[in-house]
Chains A and B, each alone.
Chain A
């Protein structure tokens, strides 16, 4: 039996080692779980968000870029039409004047001045106005230059106007030696031909063109077929200079070129590549920034309106919006990451806590089942041992009888034999005591639960043990809270618990001349139960022993003085009541056992059936 017990408790130590490994394994599985959790939440939330975010970012920037380019194109078209219609209007002004007035009227300088002012009433469109005869001589002139005696019969525009009737020239310097351009109309009345010529104010044209300019980096200018500036560009070059861009890159009536100094764009024609390198070579590009160039050809004269702007400026707002979207996207991803990490941590913590609780419960269950299985084993063994013990007792009695009857046996021998036989009896009684304890331990709770006053139970036990305590020099002091609620249990078992504890407390003073045991009870309202403490000033329990005080057969008392069952019986009794028993001890100072017994509310259904019956019986 005890061999078996020893084997069982021998396993306690390695079992602890296994526990440690298990908890180590737990932490690893928690980390794994945490990682898995985070991974899942990241893949499920961050990835789709990132995908959606990036796709919409790309789509949106492409969309807005094409919108901007479109807007740019429309802008240049619109301004081209404005310039075109301005020139047309001026030409028709002149035509109207020419057709409604006779040469005679206009050659009168005061009349011509009058007409000039009428033409310029809405704006200073014309710089000067002149009437030129068939021979190419000025017949009348209004303006700030002295051009009356000039002969135009050899100039290019004179020939053109004689052929076409209306002519709008390119910029030229002419006799006045400043860049200007003219609109000339031919008027034929009868067989006399004369020409009405107006010079357009260069400043006015420039300001008209400038209205198309956009932003800080924008630039607008007109060029003719040969690529000569018709208005001064804002940044580099001036009127009448040759534009550094090759004219062949401007194909079609209108178009958009996006220059890229770093990479050639796949979508534009190959010649744009050379254009870009030319741009760089001629130093048109102030910076190596990307530029958007929109152009549109005027019908008459064959000029081209060019609007340029830095790419970065055009798309500044869009880029800002896009940047904001991207920043927001990444911030929210970061937030999700942080939140999911925290959530995962929190959940793992909760799981861990639950696991620990379950583990604690398991441990309790293990202890209970350990006690139960040991109890069963003990009961069987105790029962089987009782029979041989009974035989031994009778056997010794038989021997005693025989010895007494036998006259021939010598007195000394007889005395010794009787002594030996009483020792046999004593040892059998000892065995019997052990088996009784074993059986009591193995016994499950008796059915006789009733309402018990813990103070009364304690007083009974103290009354039983007071004498023994006094002979050991131990003082027992009581500190009871009066009028405690009664608890529902078996009074004998409760008394047995206290008996064991107080007995142990007295035993703990062995080898000391004096000591005291303090027994206290109180009501714990927060947990709705009674707390009883038994504290002694004895030798205390060492740390390694304290873990095993409730294990059956574990005793530090000398062989023959304790079965090692007292505390485990107490433990199983208290646990069975739904209570708790705990121990706190310091070697050399003393030990304190704290017991907790839950109080049952009368409303609660937790009262065992028979105790209800008891109450009913008492009432009736």
Chain B
């Protein structure tokens, strides 16, 4: 299985930069943007398998971005990063079609695991739709 193409959307630049570094080093094809509009723009140009999306961002917030992204690319899986300690916002994200949500700060191995699972699902879904 080839490595998934990833998009990181978070307004915290050091965070996206670090994730970019870490994931590239592990052989992923990674892009990073810092707001929802840029994310919508970049998915027009390139194709991604999994998006790691921060829920709380200035401008367009995570949930709206998620809706828009799902409209454009229904098969693209999204992992929500929630800052809230509650499950409600996560559940809201799941209802809108996110693959899963993880609480910030998330340990890196856990995030990797989620990425793998998300990609697996995406592949399965794609295969099913092709049949």
Contacts and interface: CB of A to CB of B under 8 A. Distances in A.
B84 A439 contact: yes
A81 B63 CA distance: 126
A405 B81 CA distance: 29
Interface stretch (A57-65, A203-211, A386-394): A386-394
A227 to B, nearest CB: 123
Nearest to A384: B83
B19 A446 contact: no
A391 B88 contact: no
B56 A394 contact: no
Interface in B20-67: 21-22, 25, 56
A398 B18 contact: yes
A342 B81 CA distance: 70
A383 B105 contact: no
B85 interface: yes
Nearest to A431: B105
Interface string B56-98: 1000000000000000000000000101111010000000000
Contacts of B14: 391, 394-395
A397 interface: yes
Contacts of A428: 105
A213 B56 CA distance: 119
Contacts of A383: 56, 83-84
Interface size range on B against A:
20 to 34
B105 A389 contact: yes
A432 interface: yes
Interface string A553-571: 0000000000000000000
B12 interface: yes
A387 B12 contact: yes
22 contacts: A383-B56, A383-B84, A386-B105, A387-B15, A389-B105, A390-B12, A390-B15, A390-B81, A393-B108, A394-B14, A394-B15, A395-B18, A397-B108, A398-B18, A398-B22, A425-B107, A432-B105, A437-B85, A439-B84, A440-B85, A440-B86, A443-B86
Given A395-B18, A398-B18, A439-B86, 19 more contacts: A386-B83, A386-B105, A389-B104, A390-B15, A390-B106, A391-B12, A391-B14, A393-B106, A393-B107, A394-B14, A394-B108, A397-B22, A425-B107, A428-B105, A429-B107, A432-B103, A436-B103, A439-B85, A446-B86
Which 5 pairs between the two chains have the least Cβ-Cβ distance?
A: A439-B85, A394-B18, A390-B105, A389-B105, A397-B108
